[in-house]
Chains A and B, each alone.
Chain A
Amino acid sequence: NAGVMQNPRHLVRRRGQEARLRCSPVKGHSHVYWYRQLPEEGLKFMVYLQKENIIDESGMPKERFSAEFPKEGPSILRIQQVVRGDSAAYFCASSLRTAATNEKLFFGSGTQLSVL
């Protein structure tokens, strides 16, 4: 009964490289959310996806960041040309239905991105 699986757990990139973060939701969940967390801070919403669709990307920077949740396979958060300010923990969460329907989120253990 696997929960949300994120990989890699730690990712080190040099400035200008690309970072790809993967998230496999709980089996049967079609709603995926990505959050970013800086040390000692709360989670900042980035993007909400439902299978093959981006529902809300209001928290995601317009440039360099993109997300997808294909019909088959994990959700991917992609950061192009990383900068030091992108260093953070990135968490993925999934749910059976949307948060507005009184659904709880299941979180992965996160990917800690470090940009050198």
Chain B
Amino acid sequence: SQQGEEDPQALSIQEGENATMNCSYKTSINNLQWYRQNSGRGLVHLILIRSNEREKHSGRLRVTLDTSKKSSSLLITASRAADTASYFCATDEGAQKLVFGQGTRLTINP
């Protein structure tokens, strides 16, 4: 079953702008994670937010979590061409595995 669903499916912005991606999920979770995937490569972990946290920062990344709405957002500030990638949210579904969404394909135009 697909737990996380990202929105939008694709996003194209100019370098320097901020990029916001959203994720919705269905069941209760212990944590929500965001990953990045460059074309043809494996996923790289970006940030983890626990179910009792509302916001978390890491460098130019800001993640929010609203458990009442079962949603999360990932904000990348001051985007760079190197941020071009696909971004996935993943949740544990309260189980022992991570279930990934379909991803948002982010393109940063120079």
Contacts and interface: CB of A to CB of B under 8 A. Distances in A.
B44 A107 contact: yes
Contacts of B85: none
B48 A102 contact: yes
Contact of B97 (A33, A40, A104): A33
Nearest to A41: B102
B30 interface: yes
Nearest to A89: B40
Contact of B103 (A33, A42, A101): A42
Interface of A: 4, 33, 35, 40-45, 48, 55-56, 91, 93, 98-102, 104-110
Minimum-distance CB pairs A-B, first 3: A107-B42, A98-B96, A104-B45
B43 A104 contact: no
Interface residues of B, number: 25
B100 A35 contact: yes
A107 B37 CA distance: 10
Interface stretch (B14-22, B54-62, B66-74, B87-95): B87-95
B33 interface: yes
Nearest to B98: A99
B75 interface: no
A75 to B, nearest CB: 15
Contact of B92 (A42, A55, A99): A99
A43 B45 contact: no
Given A100-B94, A102-B31, A91 B42 contact: yes
A92 to B, nearest CB: 9
B45 A109 contact: no
B76 to A, nearest CB: 18
Given A35-B100, A98-B96, A105 B45 contact: yes
22 contacts: A41-B102, A42-B102, A43-B88, A44-B100, A48-B96, A48-B97, A55-B96, A56-B96, A91-B42, A91-B43, A99-B92, A99-B95, A99-B96, A100-B30, A100-B94, A102-B48, A102-B50, A105-B33, A105-B35, A107-B42, A107-B44, A110-B41
